[in-house]
Structure 1
């Protein structure tokens, strides 16, 4: 198993634990994403898994509850990551030409960490992100050129209804790295 597949599995496992811990009365809780409930966060993650599968002609079948839908989406992505031909298939993305595994790594694998925090916040779970993930995501987000960051903050820049980052939330420079990362992407730590 490669580094990308291993990272995805670890992050997906952490996200799945959060989904499994949501009580039935919490699915309508407001998330830190202004327009989303806790259920919407999971629905977004599942939908984005489907988007990552499209370049390799894979699709997701609609599932019932949120946990089952995520588990099925996760299994489909893991199947792709385990197949060297599919994992290394190149496709054009908004970030340029990438292999399927690179695209998965840059989009949904990172989303599992960030939206895992959103789900935890919405449902009163432990909000602590893996410190290694925080460092990696901080390094990636910090390296984004200002003009690209502005585009990431512009609603609809990547398609109708798509918002990548919100407006930056000021966080003290000596705050924990997780808080600085969350502020950078538009979350109130």
Structure 2
């Protein structure tokens, strides 16, 4: 992403991880089975993000996504184990370490949609973490106010999305006035009413 240097991208990603970690840490024992998104529990949402973090190192090593699929556990219970917080933190640390390697953000990753510059990949993951931090907080009655700089970065990422969203990945945007607060506009761009 040309708007940010590799150092700035890494810092934004780390902040997004920390923001999500704060929401994971706040999940009460009885909330893991609560709904976070349609068809997903809180545990499913956290497992989804764990899975994304686990894929970072092999993708940055040049492995195509079709060779990575199936390598990691394929279920919420398997991904989170007995300690969902520790499962998240371990996966997040591994992803951050992989992105922090020398020149990692100058590589190309091979996703299902084709080759993508690693700098764009980390930027996309930062936006995803930011929106999902809100999803998690909303589901658990936590702090839904997002980091303003992450919201701004997320809006820059959202400008690159297709107008209709990405079927099965990002919901179509909701209409909000251009004068709406940045967080409201970000969430609406990802199909959420905040």
TM-score by length of 2: 0.78
- Cα distance in 1 for partners of 2:92, 2:140 equals 21
SS state of the match for residue 35, structure 2?
Answer: coil
The match for 1:159 is: none
- Cα distance in 2 for partners of 1:168, 1:88 equals 31
In structure 1, list runs of 5 or more residues that go unmatched.
156-163
User: Is 1:11–1:112's contact at 8 Å kept on the other side of the alignment?
Assistant: yes
Q: Are the structure 2 counterparts of residues 105 and 184 from structure 1 closer, same or farther at C-alpha, using a change threshold of 3 Å?
A: closer
Indicate the RMSD between aligned Cα atoms, in angstroms: 2.4
More contact order relative to length (CA 8 Å, sep ≥ 6): 2
The match for 1:45 is: 49
The match for 1:120 is: 137
SS state of the match for residue 150, structure 1?
Answer: coil
In structure 2, list runs of 5 or more residues that go unmatched.
1-5, 74-78
User: Is 1:30–1:122's contact at 8 Å kept on the other side of the alignment?
Assistant: yes
- Cα distance in 2 for partners of 1:140, 1:45 equals 18
- Number of residue pairs the alignment of both structures matches: 174
User: Is 2:126–2:154's contact at 8 Å kept on the other side of the alignment?
Assistant: no
1:22-76 deviation line (CA, Å, top 9, x unaligned)? 0001111111x21211111111100111222222269768552211111111111
The match for 2:110 is: 92
- Cα distance in 2 for partners of 1:11, 1:21 equals 16
TM-score by length of 1: 0.80
